[in-house]
A = this chain, B = another copy of it.
C-alpha cells in the first residue's frame, strides 16, 4: 500500500475500512466480535479520467455497494417469500453528469420459474430495506429480466 502511495501520490488512494457494529441498537457498546475487522482498498481512476487504472474509481465502489447490498437483501426476501431461483446477476450502471452521480441503474437478471411480478416485488422490498440504499441520496432505478 505504502509503495503505491509513494509511486503516484496524486492519483492512487489507499484507504482502510473498519467496522463498528451493534447488532442490537439498544446495546451500550459495539459487538467486539463484529468489530475486529479492517479491510484495505486501492482506489484509482481510468486514464480517461486522468488516472493510472490500478483500481476502481470511488463512484464504482459506491455502485458496487448499492448493487451487492440490494442483491443480498433480495436473496433473503426471495427465500422468505419462497420465490425460487437458480441465479441472480446484477449489473450496475453509474450515470455521471460532470462530477455528480445522476443515478445508479441496477439491471437484474434472474434465472427463475417465478413470474416477473414476483421479482419486481422482491427487488422493490429489497431496495426499501437494504442498508446501503437507505444511506444513499442519489436516485436508484432498476430493470428486472427473468428467464427460466
Contact = CB atoms under 8 A, between A and B. Distances in A.
Interface string A25-45: 100001101100111010101
B101 A57 contact: no
Interface string A121-145: 0000000011110111110000000
Given A19-B59, A21-B94, 20 more contacts: A13-B67, A13-B68, A17-B60, A17-B94, A19-B57, A20-B93, A20-B95, A20-B96, A21-B95, A21-B96, A22-B96, A24-B98, A25-B97, A25-B98, A31-B48, A39-B56, A41-B56, A45-B72, A61-B61, A100-B131
A110 interface: no
B135 A72 contact: no
Give the interface residue-count category, chain A.
35 or more
A5 interface: yes
A87 B9 contact: yes
Contact of A62 (B22, B30, B46, B132): B132
Nearest to A138: B135
Interface in A99-117: 99-101
